[in-house]
Amino acid sequence: MKNQATILQKRQRQSSFIRQMTITGMLSAITAVLVFTPIGMIPLPPPLLSVTTVHVPVLLAAMVEGPWVGAAVGLVFGLCSFIRAWESGMVGLTLFFRNPLVSVLPRILFPLLAALLYLLWQKLTKGRSVVLDKVGVGIAAAVGTLCNTVFCLGAIALLYGSELTELINNMISAGNAEAQYINNAGGWLVAVVGVPNGIAEIIVAAVIVPFIKTAVDVVTKHGRGRKKTT
């Protein structure tokens, strides 16, 4: 009996590992497509950045399979963003994403935090209802998206404060702008970009991620049910 239990546990671990690798690969591929094609971007007027939906598969990975799978897909997100910043020849804030501390590290951290928040929600609610689970996913997705925006723009402000101010000063006529604005142009730009982009991306994540996760959970449960009956 002990040998059978050990074999069963081993098979379950292998099955779980294969599932995690499959989901990681699938969502990483979707993430790469969203980064390198216009599909993942909703353009906004300059100098604002485009609103991205790339964070959606990253958050989905974190909610479905946990923090480490989410971090792995987030790493792919960050690396793709890093490569795109170098290859596209874009100007403006995109130039700062050539630093992995701006483009890669925040994308690893935000799914970790989102997944941990969702796990905490599950412990507090104890799986009482599907509705509560959706609410928890929405909250965790919103917080994770907010962290992504804050971490990226915060890294830009901390690492490139003077360069950011110089960039904005080159875009503004000194004679038509107040000295206070000019001296703090970098901080103003981060606020102007972060607020509209961050709000839009939070709404996208909070609405889309819970519904996709529910569909994934249904498919996963059906799949597990068929395996048990065979």
pLDDT, tens digit, 9 for 90 and up, residues 92-127: 677 888 999 999 999 999 999 999 999 999 999 887
49: containing domain: 2-229
Separation of alpha carbons 197 and 96, rounded Å: 17
Pairing of strands 41-42, 51-52: antiparallel
Q: What is the pTM of this model?
A: 0.81
The closest of 121, 134, 11, 29 to 73, measured between CA atoms, is 29
Structural contact between residues 167 and 220, judged by C-beta atoms closer than 8 angstroms: no
Q: Express each pLDDT in 147-202 by its tens digit.
A: 998 898 889 888 887 777 776 666 555 444 455 455 555 666 666 667 777 888 89
Q: Express each pLDDT in 69-91 by its tens digit.
A: 999 999 999 999 999 888 876 56
CATH of the domain at 161: 1.10.1760.20
Q: How many domains does the chain have?
A: 1
Query: How far is C-alpha 121 from the chain's CA centre?
Result: 19
Residue 129: what are its φ and ψ, rounded to 5°?
A: -160, 160
Q: Express each pLDDT in 187-216 by its tens digit.
A: 666 666 677 778 888 998 999 999 999 888
Structural contact between residues 165 and 183, judged by C-beta atoms closer than 8 angstroms: yes
* Predicted local confidence at residue 168, as pLDDT: 64
